[in-house]
Amino acid sequence: MIESGSVTVQIDKGIGTLTFFHPKKNSLPGGLLKNIANEINNLAKNDEVKVVVLRSGGDGPFCAGASFDELMAVDSIESGKNFFMGFAGVILAMKNCPKFVIARVHGKTVGGGVGIVAASDYAIATNNASIKLSELALGIGPFIIGPAVERKIGKSAYAAMSIDADWRDAQWAKQHGLYADVVESVEELDNAVNNLAKKLSGFNPEAMAELKTVFWEGTEHWEELLPKRAETSGRLVLSDFTSKAIQAFRKT
């Protein structure tokens, strides 16, 4: 259903392309997050796939982060934890996938979307792909995506983004390691992503899997860490502050 968003997968010449879409600025409700994680896990097990490209649909934001509708519907710590575990599922699926995941970032990215980009192995973005961690302004914090973001940009930059919940431009994101490359246009973006994916699809899958294991050393505890972080977010989202903040954000 379009109201719940969609996930489509195409496999062509060793490249598995996963596209997610939601009509509300590519926001991420729980069902969509679960579908993204499931499809990444499927691509991970598919021997025909040598490399994964993760992208979103439309020409607006790459990802607006968590679904405000579902955040407002949270009525218990358990339901809040379950919602945020959707982000954990996507991050863990990307981390555990033995194939490199390339993120194609065509537009602005907020909150949980930044975490998904950070969990990719190589992200290419356009110049207008600004980023923001808005969670603290909502009365919560970027807890569930924090390990992925911190791993990519470092603790100092992660702390700065979390505290000063304002936009950073694409060049800032590249300078701090979130984006591997930044290009001027969507056409250049597609060329860069396609060229890299095509090149990787011809490399030794075993070598790439071993290299990815090296890249992700030190994250083995995330299976235990992320559920704890999800519970923290699930508790904080129940506050009156967060309820009022989300209502105010929805009016902007």
CA distance linking residue 50 with residue 106, whole number of Å = 23
Can you give the pLDDT at residue 223? 97
Residues in the chain: 252
CA distance linking residue 99 with residue 157, whole number of Å = 27
* DSSP alpha helix (H) spans, the chain: 30-45, 68-73, 77-96, 112-118, 146-153, 155-163, 170-175, 186-201, 205-215, 222-236, 240-251
Can you give the pLDDT at residue 176? 98
Q: Would 228 be classed as within a structural domain?
A: no
Can you give the pLDDT at residue 69? 87
Residue 20 domain boundaries: 2-186
Q: What is the pTM of this model?
A: 0.96
- Reduced to 3 states (helix: H, G, I; strand: E, B; else coil), residue 16 is strand
Q: Would 200 be classed as within a structural domain?
A: no
Q: Would 222 be classed as within a structural domain?
A: no
Domain total in the chain = 1
Q: Would 50 be classed as within a structural domain?
A: yes
CA distance linking residue 188 with residue 126, whole number of Å = 8
- Reduced to 3 states (helix: H, G, I; strand: E, B; else coil), residue 198 is helix
Bridge partners, residue 17, by sequence: 10, 53
Bridge partners, residue 54, by sequence: 18, 103
Q: Would 158 be classed as within a structural domain?
A: yes
Q: Would 80 be classed as within a structural domain?
A: yes
In tens digits, what is the pLDDT along the chain, a chain of 252 residues?
446 899 999 999 999 999 999 999 999 999 999 999 999 999 999 999 999 999 999 999 999 999 988 988 899 999 999 999 999 999 999 999 999 999 999 999 999 999 999 999 999 999 999 999 999 988 999 999 999 999 999 999 999 999 998 999 999 999 999 999 999 999 999 999 999 999 999 999 999 999 999 999 999 999 999 999 999 999 999 999 988 888 887 666
CA distance linking residue 241 with residue 37, whole number of Å = 31
Q: Would 38 be classed as within a structural domain?
A: yes
CATH for 16: 3.90.226.10
Can you give the pLDDT at residue 9? 98
Q: What single letter denotes the amino acid at residue 57?
A: G
Q: Would 241 be classed as within a structural domain?
A: no
If we measure between CA atoms, which residue out of 109, 133, 131 comes closest to residue 56?
109
